[in-house]
Chains A and B, each alone.
Chain A
């Protein structure tokens, strides 16, 4: 059989190099320890496993954002869904011009407010959710709609929620312009994070109070590594709702928003990588 993957290597095949005896310490870490060796090099099975992980991570970066599919997954919420595009026309431009990914293109710039109005969206809502492909469309495909649904399910009835915005070729700061155009008090940007070798599906959530173009990262709170094998959506949604509640109550976000939330498995940073 061709394409059996690493499991096809028989453990008792004398031609297959053995893992190092300390590979059992992998219970403590996902680091690639105890890989074994062939001379000074890497055994074939390990070489291919790495290449597969890299291929998946790269595919996540370059995968087109399927906004229609995400919109379908958001349908049960009965919220207007609007699709926008940044000034980056394609992936190559997005990767080389982070400034383009932070601005709406001309059509989205002029059309967004009317589109929201025409769709019957809340004007001046408490919060707008923005789903952007960022550096991993896969993260948004797999975790984005779920994160919005679970977060909204936990929010009290006193929250007015704006349209859900799906953004192509978007970076975190694109949310500032979007939120200011739909006049939202708070923005929540759910965006694909830069994929690691073993975390191609990792979503980040960025919370900003009074979002407007020019906001700095110090004005945001971030929940990172949202994915089944990292910080699961159900936990992340609880944490996001906590942060949103504190944010609205204190009229601020970012480093000054005291984060006393405690939960199992917390992976949290106030500031993530520069976007």
Chain B
């Protein structure tokens, strides 16, 4: 039983840890839908007072989802590094926020601490943090990964080139790949959401990307975002699989609903690693997450949507991913109602993942039934650039014609790199210069008459 210790509001009591966490969470529609949100603003802040007094150690002794029946809980508990945790082991959640913002929490200290933190500790402290706190601390956490290039370095911003097409038409996909490369996008990955989830469709698209990558010696990686079992089948057929993709969530039952478990992810990681296709590094996994996924599968186990989302990052970090991104506005207004809620969730997801040592990027996005527009996306994109997101998504004109939602555009990424002086992955930036897509001062101003750009145009059918 927890109560708020501040004078005058002891009338609020919270029966257990998960209730304190849920009621302390900033307001969002998904928690209202689940019946977990605070009833009043006063109760919400009272819950934060109660949460601030809870020792971090409590999260090691009290599992929010029972250890016996949830493999994500077992993963979190069994992989916890108590030695790494020592530096903050005596702190409460409130103290932990103070410490994170202090000069003691340097990039090196935070990196060393990551294996000592559990998702629940991180979710808890995020609920006591304002947006600027989430940005200020995330900026200090660098998580660097590599495959054919290096992603997540300070002062850099990657872009996933997302050339989706409603029928996977190769000419249509190629046209969008060209468009993205000409805007300097594609260092994080050239990653297609296929319209059809089958090994044949996956292999055809993989070959398409591999063809242009080999032809122009592009230092990047490809991915077709099919189900992990489809990728395993494609690898069995010797397809050129760079990265294995999977959507993941924070409970065993939610992962069940995705048709996955930890053993299956391990099998896929091993299969992709054994192909030895990386030249700079061996991070071969790509995960997507997003608040509301567990609730929509009715598998949230009574946890608020931000806490259960954070547990998905424990799943991610167990498999050394190259890329992870939250798809923050995709799920719809019943989980994140408007631009304010999407912005908050995007910053929370990025912060929580980074603090846990997960290489987080963000799909800054919205749907047409959410109360949000491009101004909201501009704001969140800029905030995430300041916070040091590893990458964002690039879609032609921000309009994903396959998934019917709006993400960020290639132009948006150019704006962000330019406004905050952020560079693409170093290997990719070098390639952009060689291609004369970048000019001498590093601006995206492609020269279209060079032989290499002509070759790219010819590949896409535009020359």
Contacts and interface: CB of A to CB of B under 8 A. Distances in A.
Interface in B419-463: 443-444, 448, 457, 460-462
B368 A22 contact: no
B33 A33 contact: no
Interface stretch (A107-115, A158-166, A172-180, A193-201): A193-201
Q: Chain A interface mostly helix, strand, loop or mixed?
A: loop
Contact of B334 (A24, A35, A97): A97
A30 B169 CA distance: 11
Contact of A96 (B32, B368, B401): B32
B29 interface: yes
A200 B457 CA distance: 33
A214 interface: no
A94 B337 CA distance: 12
Interface residues of A, number: 44
How many B residues are at the interface, by size bracket?
Answer: 35 or more
A63 to B, nearest CB: 12
A96 B396 contact: no
Interface string A244-275: 00000000000000000000000100000010
Contacts, number: 137
A99 B296 CA distance: 11
B369 interface: yes
Nearest to A26: B175
B462 A25 contact: yes
B399 A28 contact: no
A33 B368 contact: no
Contacts of B273: none
A31 interface: yes
A97 B171 CA distance: 41
A196 B32 contact: no
A40 B174 CA distance: 23
A194 B404 contact: yes
Interface string A1-41: 00000000000000000001110111011111111010111
Given A28-B172, A194-B367, A197-B406, A21 B398 contact: no
A21 B462 CA distance: 8
Contact of A199 (B172, B404, B460): B404
A31 B396 contact: yes
Given A37-B411, A97-B33, A196-B401, A29 B337 contact: no
A31 B411 contact: no
| B167, B174, B334 — most chain A CB neighbours (10 Å) | B334
Contacts of A238: none
B288 to A, nearest CB: 16
Given A22-B175, A99-B33, A31 B401 contact: yes
B411 A40 contact: yes
Contact of A40 (B176, B415, B462): B415
Interface stretch (A54-62, A142-150, A181-189): A54-62
Nearest to B444: A40
Given A30-B401, A197-B406, A24 B462 contact: yes
Nearest to B461: A25
B178 interface: yes
Contact of B296 (A96, A197, A274): A274
A92 B406 CA distance: 21
Contacts of A28: 169, 171-172, 174-175, 461
Nearest to A35: B397
B182 interface: yes
A138 to B, nearest CB: 12
Contacts of A96: 29, 32-33, 333-334, 337
12 contacts: A31-B172, A35-B411, A41-B411, A46-B397, A95-B332, A97-B33, A99-B33, A135-B369, A194-B369, A195-B368, A197-B368, A197-B401
Given A28-B461, A31-B401, A58-B368, 10 more contacts: A22-B179, A28-B171, A28-B174, A30-B401, A31-B164, A31-B395, A33-B175, A40-B414, A196-B401, A196-B405
